[in-house]
Amino acid sequence: MIEKCKIINKLGLHARASSKLVQVTNKFESEIFINCNGIRANAKSILGILSLAASCGTTIEVEAIGSDCKEAINSIKKVIEDKFGEKE
């Protein structure tokens, strides 16, 4: 299952946001990847996500493979849309 999603928090996928994202993805059984800027990263790895250097306004592709892929993608979209809890 693949869905597109836009990074809308001001700072993009920097250290803190990436930490939050990895904490979400690691709750799921599915294998999860993020495709962005021509790089495919394991979304359960903080180093993977950081290497994307996705800034605000970047559209990323979230890909989940496994039994709970749908829940995984919904949760990921939610944390991204919540701007990772940042106040701005």
Partner 1 sequence: MSIGKKGIAVSHGFCYGSIVLLNKARTIVEKRKIKKNEIFNEINRLQVAVEKSIDEVSDLKINSDYGLKSEHIDILDFNILILEDEILASEVIQKIKNDLINAEWALNDVLTNKSKNFANIKDIYMQERLADFYYIGERIVKNLRGANDHSFEIKNNSILVAHDLSPIDTLKYCQNEKVKGILTDLGGATSHTAIIARSLSIPAIMSLHNISHTLKPGQRAYVDGYKGIVTWKTNKEEKIQMESLREEYLLLEENLLEFSKLTGQTNDGALVSVKANIEITSELNSAIRYGAEGIGMYRTEFLFTSKDRFPTEDEQFEDYKKLLNTNHFDEATIRTLDIGGDKIKNLNIEESNPALGLRGIRYSLANIDIFERQLRAIFRVCAEEEKKIRILLPMISNIDEVIKANEIIDQTNKDFMVSDFYTIGVVIETPSAAILADEISNHVDFISIGTNDLLQYILAADRTNENLSNLMSYYQPSVIKIIKQIKDNVGNQKYISICGEMASDILSLPLFIGLGFNELSMNSHSIPIIKSAMNELSSSECKEIVNTCLDCKKAVEIEEILRKFINDKILKAKNLMKYEI
Residues labelled catalytic: 14
The reply on whether position 42 binds partner 1 by CB under 8 A is yes
Nearer to partner 1, 35 or 45 (CB): 45
Nearest approach, Cβ of residue 57 and partner 1 (Å): 14
CB neighbours (10 Å) of residue 67?
Answer: 10
Nearest approach, Cβ of residue 18 and partner 1 (Å): 8
Q: Which residues contact 65 (CB under 8 A, 6 or more apart)?
A: 1, 30, 31, 32
The reply on whether position 53 binds partner 1 by CB under 8 A is yes
The reply on whether position 8 binds partner 1 by CB under 8 A is no
> C-alpha distances in angstroms, 64 versus 29, 42, 46, 60?
10, 10, 17, 13
Closest CA to 58 of 32, 39, 31, 86: 39
Residues that bind partner 1 (CB under 8 A): 11-12, 14-16, 18-19, 22-23, 42, 44-48, 50-51, 53, 55
